[in-house]
Amino acid sequence: MDEMQELVNLINYHNYNYYCLDNPTISDAEWDKLYDKLLEMEAKTGVVLPDSPTKKVGGEPLSAFKKYTHEITLYSLEKCNQYQDLTDWLNDKKAKNKNINFFVEYKYDGLTISITYENGILVNAATRGNGFVGEDVTEQVKTIRTVPLKIDYKGKVIVQGEAIMKLSELSKYNKTAEEPLKNARNAAAGAIRNLDPKVTKSRNLDVIFYSINYIDNFDIKTQVESHKFLKDNHFNVCDDWKICNTIEEVEMAVKQIDVEKSKLDFLIDGAVIKINDISERKMFGYTAKFPRWAIAFKFEAQEMSSKLTNIIWQVGRTGKITPIAEIEPVELAGATVKRATLNNYNDILRKKVKLNDYVFVRRSNEVIPEILGVARETEDSTPIQKIEYCPSCGSKLVEIGANLFCKNTFHCAEQIVDRLTHYASRDAMNLIGIRDKTSKQLFEILGVTNVADIYNLKEEDLKKLDGFKDKKITNLLNAIENSKTVELDKFIYSLGILNIGKKSAKLLAKEFKTIENFKNASVEQINNIFDFGDVMSESVVEYFKNENNIEIINKLFEKGVKVLDYKEEKSQKLSSMTFVLTGTLPSLSRDEATKLIEDNGGTVTSSVSKKTDFILLGEEPGSKYQKGLELGIKIIDEKELKKMIE
């Protein structure tokens, strides 16, 4: 039995590192082996330990959810969305005790759940419901990878967390799902409030824990200590919180969360501000609805519903046709949104979107707004017809996979213009001044039909374009000149090959090193790159099979475009730092240490001066050490150097 418990502990340890800490400590194959061994052991002995990871597969579906009365009420929070209201609230607390400090954290946008542990074992999980009575979702929650079935602490404890679906999981799910999920919040709630625990399991949810609502025999004085307790017991927590002493600090912290929210892999809809000290909280107490010691600051919505009024079919640089939905304008995350993408015709069918429907629209800072699905139909709802001919050039469209394509690559105006814009974009050749409108003028007025023509442009040509005055012309001509020396990855990206974005261009550059190697790469060679599949590899090979493409690339070279061979990016961790070495280092030779410093952007000099930043000190140092001390230069050893580079 001990052996079995050991194995269970080991797998749980790896799971914790993988799912909670994002720090895998074992390969998937090794993990599978351990798991299989455990399954075998359980089958042989007929024993399944209470914290066995095999329990996470989910039992039989329930016929109905049981009601669960919470032992400790789950209050909702007072909410505000104006900084003035937040300041007033904080002032009110400070007026009672000016030394109060605040714990500021994310306000997660998922489904709130409460979990009870007794004797270290998970005995119940329930939804918040109305705060007094929720639904028993123990079997569902047990399947979630970031919920521990067993914890070290043996007293009774009731913890609260938010069940969420990571945005990366949502998009993975939606790529293949017949019925895409409309958003991460609904997806998480739907997965937990599903009678079949196997469905919950399949959605790959996570729970982020943030509160201890009850604990036996354990003295927790502050929110910071609560957080530590949760972490020590291997609950999945988020470490992005802050202690703020002043009202200004709270405001700054909230604003920072607002700025950073779009980079997170899960939804948040605001920040929660709590008094850190628990005895202080007791003094403030509760209203009938919520605690007086916490408040939620809600950000502007990133998701709204609006009426879909029209579809425009856009032709991209690769000939791919993208349906763009025109919607009645809505305010989303601080901007007015009038258009949102529907990706492709298949997406319209999968999402069952029709003209005149009210649809959910989502916008996060960096991504183009997207239609997620239908909110409600109207009397005038009508199906969206698939188009047959290219809206730009009238060619018959071809269906490839989920997408429609115009194959009239070199004579389709919208494609030509979009290729110019793409080539000029910042992450490609960075030709400042060439954006959508200019590309269109370059094509229509100056007859630029491919990217090589850009290098024929002269001052007198550009004068013919709207809005081009002296300075703008000089800037553009300079940018064109500068673009003649370009890094391989940027060049690959600028070609606008189907399915090859910025990230894949980088990987291709890293793999093939020179433009010649890249041009001659085979499907098999490209497939060897991690994350590359047939579709991407074939797109590359197809691209170079087309003689027109080769001709344009050769023209670029004739015009003087020079593509640099790929060089490994050097780390810049020691950039602009100067080191002097003295004495024998424990593991590195002098040459090795020098190379390590230089590879990370630092400089090594032989003599000590005021300009020296660090003395790297070994055994039996020379006079340089003494001089360093005299000049007050920072002395470090090999270990510290390695730490700086990590």
Residue 484's SS3 state is coil
Chain positions 353 to 392 lying near Zn ion, rule: CB under 5 A, are 390, 392
**DSSP 8-state assignment for residue 384:** P
> Given the complex with Zn ion, which of 395 and 600 has the nearer CB atom?
395
User: What kind and span of H or E run contains 230?
Assistant: helix 223-232
Q: How far is the CB of 536 from Zn ion (least distance, A)?
A: 23
Strands 320-332 and 102-108: unpaired
**Looking at beta carbons only, is 406 or 505 nearer to Zn ion?**
406
Segment near Zn ion (CB under 5 A); pick from 149-157, 231-239, 412-420, 520-528: 412-420
DSSP conformation letters of 130-169: TSSEEEB-HHHHHT-TTS-SB-S--S-EEEEEEEE--HHH
Beta bridge partners of 274: 103, 294
Determine whether 440 is an active site residue.
no
Identity of the residue, 195 or 393, whose beta carbon is nearer to Zn ion in the bound complex:
393
Say how far apart CA 323 and CA 304 lie, in whole Å.
20
Q: Which is nearer to Zn ion, 319 or 369 (CB)?
A: 319
Strands (E) across 347-394 are located at 358-362, 370-376
Q: Show contacts with Zn ion in window 201-260 (CB under 5 A).
A: none
344 or 408: CB nearest Zn ion:
408
Task: Compute the C-alpha angle 87/226/289, nearest 5°.
Answer: 50
Asked whether position 406 contacts Zn ion by CB under 5 A, the answer is: yes
Residues in contact with Zn ion, counted by CB under 5 A, come to a total of: 7
Q: Which stretch binds Zn ion (CB under 5 A): 371-379, 411-419, 491-499, 589-597?
A: 411-419
The residue within the footprint of Zn ion, chosen from 10, 393, 479, 604 (CB under 5 A), is 393
Could you tell me which stretch among 291-299, 351-359, 398-406, 529-537 binds Zn ion (CB under 5 A)?
398-406
Stretch that binds Zn ion, among 116-124, 233-241, 409-417, 630-638 (CB under 5 A): 409-417
Using CB under 5 A, pick the residue from 127, 408, 439, 582 that binds Zn ion. 408
DSSP 8-64: HHHHHHHHIIIIISS---S-HHHHHHHHHHHHHHHHHH----TT-GGGGG--SPPSS
**How many whole angstroms separate alpha carbon 493 and alpha carbon 504?**
8
**Which one of the spans 166-174, 270-278, 400-408, 573-581 is the region binding Zn ion (CB under 5 A)?**
400-408
Contacting Zn ion within 302-341 (CB under 5 A): none
Nearest-approach distance from CB 392 to Zn ion, in angstroms:
4
Under the criterion CB under 5 A, does residue 403 sit at the interface with Zn ion?
no
CA distances for 364 relative to 7, 186, 209, 285, 301, angstroms: 43, 17, 25, 37, 10
CB count within 10 Å of CB 479 equals: 16
Member of 412, 429, 556, 574 binding Zn ion (CB under 5 A): 412
CB of 324 to Zn ion, least distance (A): 16
Q: Provide the minimum distance between the beta carbon of 395 and Zn ion in the complex, in angstroms, as a whole number.
A: 5
Residue 58 near residue 149, CB atoms below 8 Å: no
In the range 25-84, which residues lie near Zn ion by CB under 5 A? none
588 binds Zn ion (CB under 5 A): no
Give the separation between CA 53 and CA 14, rounded to whole angstroms. Answer: 11
Of 337 and 406, which has the nearer Cβ to Zn ion?
A: 406
> DSSP string of 79-96?
EE-SHHHHHHHHHHHHHH
Q: Of 55, 93, 98, 107, which one is the catalytic site residue?
A: 107
Q: Which is nearer to Zn ion, 443 or 614 (CB)?
A: 443
Write out the catalytic residue numbers: 107
Positions touching Zn ion (CB under 5 A) are 390, 392-393, 395, 406, 408, 412
